[in-house]
Amino acid sequence: MTFRMIAALWLILVAADSALAAKGRPHEPGATSSQRVEEKGVAVEFSLNPANGAGELMEGDFADLGFRITDAQTRQPIRGRAPGVWLDTVKSLSQKEGDSCKDKIETFLKGMAGVRPMLDLNSYYLMVFNQDASISVVDPLVGVSGRTNLFATIILNRPPADWIQSRDGKRLFVSMPEAGQVAVVDTENFKVIDNVAAGAKPRRLGLQPDGHYLWVGNETGVTAIDTETLKATAHIETGKGHHELAFTADDSRVFASNRDDGTVSVIDVRGLKKLADLKTGPLPIALAYSATARALYVADGVDGSIAVVSGEQPKITAAIAAKPGLGPMKPTPNGRWLLALNSKESKVHVIETATNRLVQDIPVGGRPYEIAFSADFAYVRSLDSEHVGMIALSRLGQDTALQTSTFTAGTAPPRQVADLGLGTSMAAAVGEAAMLVASPADNLVYYYMEGMLAPSGNFRNPAHSARGIAVVNRSLKESRPGQYSARVKIPAAGDYDVAFLLESPRIIHCFHATAAVNPKLAEATRPLEITYLTQQRRAAVGQTLTLKFRLDDPKAHAPKTGLTDVKVLYYLAPGLMRTELPARALGDGQYEADLAIKRAGAYYAYVGVASEKLRFGDLPVFSLIAAEPAKPAPQAK
């Protein structure tokens, strides 16, 4: 049972469960509660320790949170559960003594805007990549269809091309070809923490299995970036054309296609050097490595062949004849099958990796161009259709006449939008048999639960144009039998209720934790606050709009005067005519800058102050709409 289902069941039963209200009341600040509870034959042990293994728990530091769930009598681990967990400051919801742990959990489950725990370990966030230089962060648990779920906005130096998450999900890497950089986003606080020089026109990204190197496809080669130091370690010339990337399971080899040269380069990771260039066909358009077969598969878009390359030795060992028009391909989660899309034939080719045989062709229609997996289905997106195809993985290889089921995700086909980008527009929902699909044509993200006829809701991405999505998982994971854990960042100093909900048997308890003040954070400069004084949100093309704003010091509760490096960045969506200019100081914490409105459309303006360590995007955005001047009405003769 998924946590979303658990939440629904809880809200139905909560009214009849008044007997539990007295248990787990919030503790007084500074109090300590038992870190072990036994109820209904189940023992739950709670721990929250600094991630470095020493010292005390402090705000701003990472900590390892865990619950060990066992049978109280046999002490055997209880597996396969999905406990609900929330961290919130004691009495943060209200100051009533009667508030119980049950009341707090009930409030969190309702997903009320403005009433959120400090940490929700049952949730996930959507990162929507926009055509402009920004990423929208959407909270799917707050708000309803038709209303904004926008949680944060991340400002990039230039529009994104591709993105990939670190293995622990704590970082997101985003390529920006126009900037020659890869942005590094901290997914704990949704901030850009670095922009790493990544060579000329960095586009495709790949992360080797151990996460040590991030590989970046450039114009004529690939760049290796150390994910610890966030520095480029090597650049290796491979060949001309776009580069797709793949990796052996043991991190020993990197494969990079060279589309214009018709070759695939084999790179030794340890020596950071090229071993060989393999001629695989006129247009190597997609790579996929199968750990099960220990082989790389190279799809050629012109001759329709799929070359099989040994993962241990740089040589071609077999060739699979498909049909011209091949595109992206991926192995299924169990590695038994390889699914290759064919946009010209509007089919999915099914290859058995054990025998390297093409065993099945599945018609999907509409020129397929993207594929994603849940545990039970392959989802196929097509350029010419707003419908998403679903292929049951259990039926692969069994029925040559296998048909797909479909659902609608959008009001128009993706081909109506130019520049779809390299990144994925589909992502599996966390802990649920569901898929999230970004529709660039209508700028919505659709939530589809398997077994339904249509999506059950959608999330808006206001004032931007969506191109792709990624999911940031904040939920607990079963790290070993009966042990459910997560690494979290402590948001603030103080006393915490750690609310715990187990659905079967139903156990409700609030554990307790205390985080100390972090001296380093206490000494750090706090961000300024901004108030936009310009009320005008509409402008005419050809006008110069003066943007006036006030900066305040929240610690001193006074205007921030004397700043000499206040700058304003503004651009026309989707990232056009990007302009950065200094702001003029007016006194009393007020500043202004002149924005030249040259074309119609939506404009976004951001304020940054380098001396205060405030980047563009750290402060709220100012937006406006520009239109052509109204033409004078013709005078009557």
What is the secondary structure of 465-505 as a DSSP string? -EEEEEEEE-S-EEEETTEEEEEEE--SSEEEEEEEEETTT
H or E, element range at 519: helix 519-523
Question: For the chain, what's the residue count?
Answer: 637
Q: What per-residue confidence (pLDDT) applies to 422?
A: 87
Partners of 508 in the β-ladder: 501
pLDDT reported for residue 17: 41
| Residue range(s) of every CATH 2.60.40.10 domain in the chain | 3-121+477-522
Triad 551, 557, 560: Cα angle to 5°: 30
In DSSP notation, 47-63 reads EEEETTSSS--BTTSEE
Q: Tokens standing for 229? A: 């130091």
d(CA 136, CA 157): 15
Q: Check: CATH 3.40.50.720 for 529-627? A: no
pTM: 0.73
H or E stretch covering 104: helix 101-109
Show the low-confidence residues of the chain (pLDDT under 70): 1-34, 54, 91-99, 110-116, 141-149, 399-400, 462-463, 521-526, 573-576, 632-637
Would you call 385 helix, strand, or coil by DSSP?
Answer: coil
| CATH code, 124-473 | 2.130.10.10
How much is the pLDDT for 402? 80
| Nearest alpha-carbon partner for 168 in 69, 93, 64 | 64
Fold classified for 3-121+477-522: Immunoglobulin-like (2.60.40)
Q: How far apart are the C-alpha atoms of 520 and 329, rounded to whole Å? A: 48
Sheet holding 273-279, edge to edge: 245-247, 253-258, 263-268, 273-279
pLDDT of 444: 85
3-class SS of residue 153: strand
| CATH 2.60.40.1930 domain position(s) in the chain | 529-627
pLDDT of 12 reads 37
CA distances from 513 to 27, 49, 101, 372, 452 (A): 10, 10, 14, 40, 41
CA proximity to 195, closest of 158, 247, 234: 158
Burial class (CB in 10 A: 0-12, 13-18, 19+), 214: buried
pLDDT tens digits, one per residue of 337-376: 999 999 999 999 999 999 999 999 999 989 999 999 999 9
Q: For residues 298, 300, 304 and 309, what is the CA-based torsion angle, rounded to 10 degrees?
A: -20
Delimit the CATH 2.130.10.10 region(s) of the chain: 124-473
pLDDT at residue 636 in the model: 60
CA-to-CA distance for 287 and 298, rounded, in angstroms?
5
Q: Are 554 and 529 in contact (CB under 8 A)?
A: yes
pLDDT of residue 524: 56
Pull the structure tokens for residue 295. 């082989």
Cα of first residue to Cα of last residue in the chain, in angstroms, is 75
Q: How many Cα neighbours within 13 Å face the side chain of 123?
A: 19
pLDDT of residue 94: 41
Residue 454 CB partners (closer than 8 Å, separation 6+): 407, 408, 448
